[in-house]
Amino acid sequence: MLATVLVCFVQHGSANDWPQFRGPGGNASAEMTRTPIRWDDQHNLAWKAKLPGRGASSPIIVGDRAYITAYSGYGIDPDDFGNKDDLRLHVIALDKKSGTRIWEKTLVASVQTQNCTRRVIDHGYATSTPVSDGDAVFAYFGVSGLYAFSKEGKPIWHANTGEKTAGFGSASSPVIHKNLVIVNASIESQNVVAFDKTSGKKVWEIPDVKRSWCTPCLARSRAGKTELIINQIDTVRGFDPLSGRVLWTCQGIPDYTVPVPISQDGVVYCLGGRSNRALAIQLGGSGDVTRSHKLWDLPKGANVTSPVYVDGRLYWASDKGIMNCIDAETGKEIYKSRLPTKKRIYGSIVRGGDHLYVTTRDQGVVVLSISHEYKVVSQNRFSADDSKLNAGPAVSEGSLYIRSDGFLYRITESNR
């Protein structure tokens, strides 16, 4: 595990960074930190920054910056979608200590952007979390493409990945591996595409990636080899991330997939499907590894939300509002309990120190103890902000960065 963490920090910056969707390695875990467990409008709130529009993307923290995306002009009011020509996409950089806006870039959305519906407005048009290597930030907007900006906000390049759409639209977030920015454009073109992060030139392309809204997972086998994991309908596949060459395939979940695969100690864990399934695959295989490397396959999981691994257990809050904990080695259920919300949950669980953070859409953030039992420590809301919470928090230097549809917040213990 330490080797995996060190490799991630070499690629993306310091140990204080949360450089991509679900943080270092995509595993949503800030183990060696102490994070706040209680807050509201008056307590432990370091700053509150108004955003130019809505969004389901999460913030990232790199160096002294917080980056986030949003959309405005169309698909804001569920009773009046407005004119699609007015849709604007935003990439914002803020000072992570003060919340002061450093720069904002406003982009005109592609004419291929899907028309708004009540299903689409549930997620909106800024669903992909950006990624940064410290020198540049890369923001993906589905059919509107992948944008690269310098740390100071200068446009570097823009690349298209396809013009198709499906369901609620785009969702996958880009990841960085060495000199590559990798995007799962299954929904836009049924491809996974790698671009040179400096020039924007396409380096390789993986075809036939179907019904996958998942962010790619970069995982290390027990032999120390990095594998690119793509979870799609019916199949999980491992690739060489530098060439896009397929390494292995495994029978997967017989439905579309959204949750991000996570990895630990040479094993990758995948959730997905409307009927909810979960499976574990040992990395390092070759060819069809269904019989040789699939460790377990269970009729439980989540349709949208992703898990976190802690001390031999997998935790996740399903989109149906159910908190789950299973033994990661066997898949055996440890506990299952209803969270204090009746709404669907779209933000995935995050670990901060000794606690788990579950973002609900309407009841704030639920803080749980890391335990073999369901224990709620606190439930935290901002009474002055009734907009929805669709994204999981970022963690940096003991602070939580939480976005609602209206604001980005930094939560820090006031005695620090």
344 within some domain: yes
The confidence score (pLDDT) of residue 300 equals 94
45 within some domain: yes
| Predicted structure pTM score | 0.95
- Say if CB 153 and CB 93 are below 8 A apart: yes
User: What are 217's two structure tokens?
Assistant: 């997972």
The confidence score (pLDDT) of residue 416 equals 56
- Say if CB 237 and CB 194 are below 8 A apart: no
Q: How far apart are CA 43 and CA 257, in angstroms?
A: 38
416 within some domain: no
- Say if CB 243 and CB 192 are below 8 A apart: no
Residue 327: what residue type? D
The residue to which tokens 């530098």 are assigned? 242
- Say if CB 160 and CB 142 are below 8 A apart: no
Q: Which of 145, 151, 146 is nearest to 133 (CA)?
A: 151
398 phi and psi angles, rounded to 5 deg: 80, 0
List C-alpha distances in Å: 365 to 280, 302, 344, 415. Answer: 28, 19, 14, 21
Largest CA distance in the chain: 56
- Say if CB 321 and CB 339 are below 8 A apart: yes
206 within some domain: yes
Q: Residue 32 maps to which CATH number?
A: 2.130.10.10
136 within some domain: yes
Binning the chain into helix, strand and coil, the percentages to the nearest 5 are: 10, 40, 50
84 phi and psi angles, rounded to 5 deg: -60, -25
Residue 86: what residue type? D
The residue to which tokens 């982009």 are assigned? 107
The residue to which tokens 């506990």 are assigned? 335
Q: How far apart are CA 149 and CA 361, in angstroms?
A: 31
Q: How far apart are CA 287 and CA 265, in angstroms?
A: 21
The confidence score (pLDDT) of residue 375 equals 97
What is the secondary structure of 240-253 as a DSSP string?
-TTT--EEEEEE--
The confidence score (pLDDT) of residue 12 equals 43
The confidence score (pLDDT) of residue 100 equals 98
251 within some domain: yes
- Say if CB 116 and CB 100 are below 8 A apart: no
Considering its fold, how many domains does the chain have in total?
Answer: 1
The helix/strand/coil state of 291 is helix
Residue 211: what residue type? R
User: What are 153's two structure tokens?
Assistant: 């906000």
Q: How far apart are CA 290 and CA 157, in angstroms?
A: 40
* Full pLDDT tens readout for the chain, 416 residues: 334 433 443 344 567 999 999 999 999 999 988 999 999 999 999 999 999 999 999 999 999 999 999 999 999 999 999 999 999 999 999 999 999 999 999 999 999 999 999 999 988 999 999 999 999 999 999 999 999 999 999 999 999 999 999 888 899 999 999 999 999 999 999 999 999 999 999 999 999 999 999 999 999 999 999 999 999 999 999 999 999 999 999 999 999 999 999 999 999 999 999 999 999 999 999 999 999 999 999 999 999 999 999 999 999 999 899 999 999 999 999 999 999 998 899 999 999 999 999 999 999 999 999 999 999 999 999 999 999 999 999 999 999 999 999 999 999 998 65
Domain residue limits at 176 = 2-411
